[in-house]
Amino acid sequence: MSLRIGDTAPDFQIETTQGPIRFHEWAGGSWVFFFSHPADFTPVCTTEMGRTAQLAGEFAARNVKPLGLSTDSVKEHLAWISDVDATQNTSLKFPIVADPDKKVAALYDMIHPGEDDTAAVRTVFIIDPDMKIRLTMAYPMTIGRNFSEILRVIDALQLTDRMTVACPADWKPGDRVIVRPSLSDEKAKEEFPQGFETLRPYLRLVDVGS
């Protein structure tokens, strides 16, 4: 059965480019951006790994650890990382899981046989410090992911954990957010003393800064 939002991210023990890890222990109270890709030495994957490495500062600022995975070996990953660094002008520092036996790929339902029988598609799991899955996405093999969206959704999740708000369509940091309908007007006035605009009783907008 596939994993769903709100499920506990399954724990596992596996080899990575930075040695063996036990997943929950490795996460160590951080958020995790866990993402699979089809294969080493392929063009789209090379750009995605490069982009993740280039964004190391953005992930760290949000207390997020990236963890890649493909069904290749540690030896192949390490040789490929040299290509990623050279062609994407970066220095890849996060671990990549080596899963030639497809153990973790099966656990996380990363192989979609309608797309490919053996290689993982481009899945994303955003996992919070309590090891709850907060977002899942799956992209086909021929389409690279949008890393602005990945950072945006992490910002949105962290904001909605801090405040009783929800993020509207195309929200980006700094935009107004929605006061969650579960909050009465009275409680909303307490949480948002700056005030909010009521377009409909169920649609109230508040500026919470960026």
Residues acting as catalytic residues: 45
Select the residue interacting with ligand BEZ from 9, 14, 27, 44 (CB under 6 A). 44
Between residues 39 and 163, which has the closer beta carbon with respect to ligand BEZ? 39
Whose tokens are 């990363």? That residue is: 110
* Number of residues located near ligand BEZ, criterion CB under 6 A: 8
Contact 72, 61 (CB under 8 A): no
Closest contact distance (angstroms) between CB of 139 and ligand BEZ is: 11
- Subset of residues 135 to 154 that bind ligand BEZ, contact rule: CB under 6 A: 141-142
Query: 41 by DSSP, 3-state: which?
Result: coil
10 binds ligand BEZ (CB under 6 A): no
110 binds ligand BEZ (CB under 6 A): no
Residue 1: burial class (beta carbons within 10 Å; 0-12, 13-18, 19+): exposed
Count of other CB atoms within 10 angstroms of residue 119: 20
Q: What is the C-alpha separation between 199 and 123, in angstroms, rounded?
A: 37
CA-CA distances (angstroms) from residue 150 to 71, 102, 188?
23, 25, 29
Closest contact distance (angstroms) between CB of 76 and ligand BEZ is: 14
49 binds ligand BEZ (CB under 6 A): no
Scanning 15-23, 41-49, 129-137, 188-196 for contacts with ligand BEZ by CB under 6 A, the matching segment is: 41-49
Q: What is the C-alpha separation between 119 and 69, in angstroms, rounded?
A: 11
Q: What is the C-alpha separation between 131 and 9, in angstroms, rounded?
A: 6
Select the residue interacting with ligand BEZ from 14, 27, 45, 133 (CB under 6 A). 45
30 binds ligand BEZ (CB under 6 A): no
Between residues 43 and 168, which has the closer beta carbon with respect to ligand BEZ? 43
**Site of interaction with ligand BEZ (CB under 6 A):** 38-39, 42-45, 141-142
